[in-house]
Structure 1
Amino acid sequence: MIQVAQILFILSVLVILHELGHYIAAKIFKVRVEKFYLFMDAGFSLLKKKIGDTEWGIGWLPLGGYVKLSGMIDESMDTDQMNTEPQPWEFRSKPAWQRLIIMLGGITVNIILAWLIFTIMYSTVGQKFIATEKIQENGLAFGDVGHKAGFENGDKIVSVDGKFQPSFNRMTLDILLGDKVEVERDGKIIDVILTDEMKGEIISKEGKEFLGPRYTNSVVDSVVPKSEAEKAGLLMGDKIKSLNGTNFVYYDQFKDGVSKHKNDSIALVVLRGEKTVELKAKVDKEGKLGFFNKPLDKLDFEVNNQLTFGQAVPAAVKESWSLLVYNVKQFKLILRPKTEAYKHVQSPIGIARRLPDTWNWEFIWNFTALFSIGLAFMNLLPIPGLDGGHALFTIVEMITGKKLSDKAAGYVQTAGMIILLTLMALTFGKDIYQLVADKLF
């Protein structure tokens, strides 16, 4: 329930402020706003009250929101109003440059909101991130897909497309969005080139877990019930010192050693408190024992840059711009079929499941800023039915001097809404199916 409450809060803030951007711009140019709704009121609304010319309300369907402007074909698909002569207070009677500003009002507010949130966060709690230099002091450890892609345990990421990423939080994303990864291996610089197919494997099989810090030891965090580890007598807190008489420095070395003894027995020496214990264990057919290694505390690698307000302002602008660029690159990745990234596009249901199950204001505001940039980018797309689609036709009108007819605008808007509703149905359906499947299986 806390995850649901968080996503509803975030969506409410973003939708209200986005639509407020349209509302304020419309009022500046004296366009009548007939409705201002949080969420969609398909069929009925939960709350509504008319103040002046505007009906303010809350819809029952949490799929965004809208403002209905007089003299404009929008989400309401109200075309009857277009059969009368244009009135001075209508959207269609305004000059193209004014209509363009009104259309871009929501996007502008989303970008400003992200900038303000980052500015406040950086100047109060600080600019926090996991430092790449710290987390890869001993090199990095990779999953099976990472090894298949050409990485090796112990590699250090030097750059992606010639740029060093100081924040490890974004390292995986940089690699997926980049073309050439430079790694330091045994004192040499080596290039790793990822194909679209390999990126698809990383996205579908391991995601962010495809690389991580290299553990300097193996400490049992938990044991899988009825596993070979449990049968062997491994306990939480045990430190594994050797495998078949061979000592190892890193956990990935132990893991690789175990995988070579599928369906075979191995001898372990563990340190349990101050006592040394010898155990016999059998490796399962997948090359595993059945325990989870104690994770490193990522806070040990966290950097917190305390910025003054004057320093936070440009840093927030830079971060907002950086996120916008990431959105563009991710969209390009989605459009490359071989990566199959399109299969992992998430609806608010999928996003909510990724949120923490405790209420954390610092996380919520940072996520709101990130989501706000994502919403701005999505609305910039030149798709009929989105702000970007309206803006595109207005820009074409400004260049050519020819305005799209009301009839054609109606057809375009209908096509756009069909596309958007289809995409929403697919993403929501996928996430609902996954939610149900996780509960049942």
Structure 2
Amino acid sequence: MEVLIMAGQLILGLSILVGLHEWGHMAAAKMFGMRVEKYFIGFPPKIFSIQRGETEYGIGAIPLGGFVKISGMIDESMDTATMNQEPQPWEFRSKPAWQRLIVMLGGIIVNVVVGIFIFILIAYREGDQFLSSSEVNKYGIVAGELAQEIGLKTGDKIVKVNGKPFTNFSEIVSSEVFLGSNSSYTVNRDGKELVVEIPNNFIEKVSDPKQKGNFIRAQEPFTIGELIPGLPAEKAGLQTGDKVLTLNGKPIQFFHQMQDELDKVKGKQVTIVVERAGAQKSIPLQVSEDGTIGFYRNSLLKYTTVEYTLGEAIGVGTKDAFNVVFDNIKGFGKIFRGEVSASKALSGPIGIARMFGGVWDWSRFWYLTGLLSMVLAFMNALPIPALDGGHAVILTYELVSGRKPSDAFLENAQKVGMVLLLGLMAFAIFNDVWKAVF
């Protein structure tokens, strides 16, 4: 079921984005009097279509894409038969270069607008909730294996990121840190400050799904929150609001300590001492085979909540949307400099589906859809033949030089671009499978 939910979210998100992207091309083409022969979401074979005027609107069986066929344009269909005939006034090739350029940029522009719009709505509706630096540093951090690998320790208090004070815990694990160069943390350890350097290729490790939650989190005092019906905590008599003091005699102050101790006693009987209404109570219970007892924690750390007005949300959402593009540029920079490997940095459809997760969460769905909209705009803007960016480069050359490339050149450029794109797609899918298996 989880796989179906992942696939469903991916297909829905991409169908929305690809449909809007291709609509951007179609709307611009129709605005300049070009004939649009086909508008399809998904690739052939055709599932359904309907003719409206000059345009056939349809849905293809392969959901990870879509296309618009504009008369007189050499595109991925490689239908060049009409190119040997006299140009007609309604054809793409008959229009001025500036109009053709707008048509080619139409999809990118729509994706950027959609991405910004989604991020603005998220900022306005959800605001922001975060742990402040002062709240985190009441107790310091929990250093997972990856954090320990670069020299951090549980209990460290991070006071600066890249030499600057920070206000939001998310700044510690931001793209500025992992996509930048020569990043560092300034740490207070036992009253002394020291600098912990972050390797330039560290993003390969922290972005690995298998290492999720294995870097840094806050040391979190807690009480027992909601109990899950039918699981050991409820059966044994734990109650919401109980404060755990010990587990099998081991003192428990923070949630990660509780997790660590439970991992050691999977499937065994334990005794938990809790504080309830000012008195201590000893409770025996059976730990499940996966090392859980069935409750949600109630964190005693205080989260800061920020609500944005519509005007503020416009600024925050726009900044968040374009940060996606800037992060992609930084990521490509790391690949080209050899600081990270392409196989570990790039994801295909399987990797993207895993980002959505196996539970349908509309907040996460729309956040990832907004993110993918900006990524789709960025990728399509790359100057690769067959992509919108490749067409835009050729049209810009025509505008500047006043010379139109030959149809043979455009056809060969399209073929080269298609080979590159198919090769990249095959690499991404194979890479996803490899990472999932190994």
Q: TM-score range, shorter-chain basis? A: 0.7 to 0.9
Unpaired runs of 5+ residues, structure 2, are 227-237, 265-269
Q: Give the structure-1-normalised TM-score.
A: 0.78
Return closer, same or farther for 1:385/1:251 CA change in 2, 3 Å cut-off: same
In structure 2, the residue matched to 1:226 is none
| Correspondence 1:317 to 2:318 | yes
In structure 2, the residue matched to 1:177 is 179
Confirm or deny: 8 A CA contact 1:48 1:56 kept in the other structure. Answer: yes
Describe the SS at the equivalent of 1:36.
Answer: strand
In structure 2, the residue matched to 1:36 is 39
Aligned pair partner of 2:197 in 193, 196, 212: 193
Confirm or deny: 8 A CA contact 2:146 2:206 kept in the other structure. Answer: yes
- Separation in 2, partners of 1:412, 1:157: 53
Which stretch shifts more, 295-304 or 95-104? 295-304
- Separation in 1, partners of 2:106, 2:163: 35
- Separation in 1, partners of 2:325, 2:379: 10
Q: What are the superposed Cα offsets for residues 54-98 of structure 1, whole Å, 9 maximum, x if unpaired?
A: 111111112211111111111112222221222221112222221
Confirm or deny: 8 A CA contact 1:130 1:169 kept in the other structure. Answer: no
Deviation at 1:253, TM superposition (A): 8.2
Write the mapping of 1:264-283 to structure 2, written as runs, cut at 5 A: 271=273, 274-275=280-281
Q: What are the superposed Cα offsets for residues 309-338 of structure 1, whole Å, 9 maximum, x if unpaired?
A: 232222222222222212222232344444
Aligned pair partner of 1:209 in 199, 211, 214: 214
- Separation in 1, partners of 2:165, 2:424: 35
Return closer, same or farther for 1:240/1:406 CA change in 2, 3 Å cut-off: farther
Confirm or deny: 8 A CA contact 2:146 2:214 kept in the other structure. Answer: no
- Separation in 2, partners of 1:407, 1:188: 69
In structure 2, the residue matched to 1:285 is none
In structure 2, the residue matched to 1:155 is 157
Which residue identity does 1:317 align to in structure 2?
A: T
Which residue identity does 1:177 align to in structure 2?
A: L
Describe the SS at the equivalent of 2:12.
Answer: helix
In structure 1, the residue matched to 2:416 is 415
Q: What are the superposed Cα offsets for residues 330-389 of structure 1, whole Å, 9 maximum, x if unpaired?
A: 232344444235324222232222324343333322221111111111111111111111
Describe the SS at the equivalent of 1:209.
Answer: coil
Return closer, same or farther for 1:193/1:296 CA change in 2, 3 Å cut-off: farther
Confirm or deny: 8 A CA contact 1:33 1:54 kept in the other structure. Answer: yes
Deviation at 1:147, TM superposition (A): 1.7
Return closer, same or farther for 1:242/1:419 CA change in 2, 3 Å cut-off: same
Describe the SS at the equivalent of 2:214.
Answer: helix
In structure 2, the residue matched to 1:113 is 114
Q: Give the structure-2-normalised TM-score.
A: 0.78
Confirm or deny: 8 A CA contact 1:45 1:60 kept in the other structure. Answer: yes
Return closer, same or farther for 1:92/1:189 CA change in 2, 3 Å cut-off: farther
Which residue identity does 1:195 align to in structure 2?
A: P
- Separation in 2, partners of 1:359, 1:46: 26
In structure 2, the residue matched to 1:14 is 17
Confirm or deny: 8 A CA contact 1:345 1:427 kept in the other structure. Answer: yes
Which residue identity does 1:213 align to in structure 2?
A: A
In structure 2, the residue matched to 1:346 is 347
In structure 2, the residue matched to 1:128 is 128
- Separation in 2, partners of 1:72, 1:56: 18
- Separation in 2, partners of 1:298, 1:36: 51
Describe the SS at the equivalent of 2:405.
Answer: coil
Which residue identity does 1:196 align to in structure 2?
A: N
In structure 1, the residue matched to 2:229 is none
- Separation in 2, partners of 1:61, 1:99: 28
Return closer, same or farther for 1:10/1:299 CA change in 2, 3 Å cut-off: farther
Confirm or deny: 8 A CA contact 1:33 1:69 kept in the other structure. Answer: yes
Return closer, same or farther for 1:241/1:183 CA change in 2, 3 Å cut-off: farther
- Separation in 2, partners of 1:122, 1:26: 33
- Separation in 2, partners of 1:296, 1:411: 61
In structure 2, the residue matched to 1:3 is 6
Unpaired runs of 5+ residues, structure 1, are 222-234, 263-267, 279-288
Confirm or deny: 8 A CA contact 2:244 2:253 kept in the other structure. Answer: no
Describe the SS at the equivalent of 1:428.
Answer: helix
- Separation in 2, partners of 1:341, 1:143: 25
- What is the root-mean-square deviation of aligned Cα atoms in Å? 3.9
Confirm or deny: 8 A CA contact 2:223 2:300 kept in the other structure. Answer: no
Describe the SS at the equivalent of 1:73.
Answer: coil
Q: What are the superposed Cα offsets for residues 123-164 of structure 1, whole Å, 9 maximum, x if unpaired?
A: 3x2323433524454222222222222323313152247584
Deviation at 1:399, TM superposition (A): 2.3
Percent of pairs identical after alignment? 35
Return closer, same or farther for 1:183/1:127 CA change in 2, 3 Å cut-off: same
In structure 2, the residue matched to 1:139 is 140
- Separation in 2, partners of 1:372, 1:269: 51
- Separation in 1, partners of 2:300, 2:38: 47
In structure 2, the residue matched to 1:400 is 401
Return closer, same or farther for 1:415/1:152 CA change in 2, 3 Å cut-off: same
In structure 1, the residue matched to 2:73 is 72
* Aligned residues between the structures: 406
Which residue identity does 1:312 align to in structure 2?
A: A
Confirm or deny: 8 A CA contact 1:334 1:342 kept in the other structure. Answer: no
Deviation at 1:25, TM superposition (A): 0.9
Return closer, same or farther for 1:151/1:270 CA change in 2, 3 Å cut-off: same
